[in-house]
Amino acid sequence: MLSVSSSETAPAVRPSHVTRVAGPPSYWRLVGRRLARDPVTLAAGALLGAVALSAIFAPLLAPYDPTTGSIRLRLASIGAPGHPLGTDEQGRDMLSRLLFGGRMTLLAALTPIVVACVFGSALGIVAGYLGGVLNAVIMRVSDVLYAFPAILLAIAISGALGPGLGNTLISLSVVFLPRIIRVAEAVTVQTKSLEFVSAARAGGAGPWPIVRYHLLPNVLAPILVFTSTQVSLSIILAAGLSFLGLGVTPPAAEWGLMLNTLRQSIYVNAWVPALPGLAIFVVSMVFNLLSDGLRDAMELRT
């Protein structure tokens, strides 16, 4: 539902899209150059890099242990001595919690996306290329899962399985898999019908070379763009599940969970509780900007 594409069933890949017979590296170089020219995308990319680095190097960057705190210092304001971003309700340093929380949130959000992308693409491409019964089975199952609003499906699965990072990864993977399958299948079907593919087939080429040289290059790009639009939703959902108590459990640091526990303190110190949400917002925004930029650079208008 948070996809920025106008159609929820498939991005309409117009035939005016740059068609390639084989995959010349110069296309991607072209994309790269276009990306580099857009200042907004560059800025977003830089920010993403900063976020990624801070998540990876959290143990080195964090001034304190994210799970220890002194309750004497609880709910210190932003700018308090020794705690530039304040402390939470247990007296733990917010900066450290945010850094480590980033790792957790990003892990919980990106893993399902990667899983869904890999398996979803495979399933969708297979379904699109082979058609027939296999296609019907895969697509009908996807349709059923797609029938649930994303958050509801995530809650249903996590609610049934129980809290915990593992269960969150499972439920979010199940949420995103059908979406990617649908896109992959639709794009594959469209590309398959294009002239150059039938020409290749007529020329006697076997299925595997066709897939590899003709199909994949044209299909991966839209799939990737679509996937990139889902990342921000995944972040919001992953943090949202923890916010409801269905994701990561205390005392782990995770942005959604922090938002939940700090929420009870808004009458005491209003702005410290806003910080984890700000983090989610910023990262989500960065991914949206990047996916927009990617889509523009690949000249895929939807």
Q: What's the Cα-to-Cα distance from 195 to each of 20, 62, 110, 117, 124, rounded to whole Å?
A: 12, 56, 36, 27, 21
Does residue 160 touch other proteins according to CB under 8 A? yes
Q: At what angle do helices 216-243 and 255-263 cross, to 10 degrees?
A: 30
Minimal distance, residue 119 CB to other proteins, in Å: 18
Instruction: Return the residue of 173, 230, 234, 284 that touches other proteins, per CB under 8 A.
Output: 284
Q: Which residues contact 164 (CB under 8 A, 6 or more apart)?
A: 247, 248, 249
Which C-beta is closer to other proteins: that of 29 or that of 263?
Answer: 263
Does residue 267 touch other proteins according to CB under 8 A? yes
Which C-beta is closer to other proteins: that of 2 or that of 200?
Answer: 2
Distance CA 30, CA 16 (A): 17
Q: Which residues contact 62 (CB under 8 A, 6 or more apart)?
A: 93, 95, 96, 99, 100
Minimal distance, residue 266 CB to other proteins, in Å: 5
Beta bridge pairs of residue 244: none
Does residue 104 touch other proteins according to CB under 8 A? no
Q: In the 8-state DSSP scheme, what is residue 77? A: P
Distance CA 68, CA 84 (A): 16
- From 48-56, 192-200, 216-224, 231-239, give the range in contact with other proteins by CB under 8 A: 231-239
Angle at 167 between CA 147 and CA 64, to 5 degrees: 125
Number of residues that bind other proteins (CB under 8 A): 69
Which C-beta is closer to other proteins: that of 111 or that of 261?
Answer: 261
**Tell me, what amino acid is at 232?**
S
- From 94-102, 115-123, 137-145, 193-201, give the range in contact with other proteins by CB under 8 A: 137-145
- From 22-30, 56-64, 202-210, 288-296, give the range in contact with other proteins by CB under 8 A: 288-296
Q: In the 8-state DSSP scheme, what is residue 1? A: -
Which C-beta is closer to other proteins: that of 173 or that of 214?
Answer: 173
Contacts with other proteins by CB under 8 A lie at: 1-2, 4, 6-9, 67-68, 71-72, 74-75, 89-91, 140-141, 143-145, 147-152, 155-157, 159-162, 232, 236, 239-240, 243-246, 249-251, 259, 261, 263-268, 270-271, 273-274, 276-278, 280-281, 284-285, 288-289, 292, 301-302
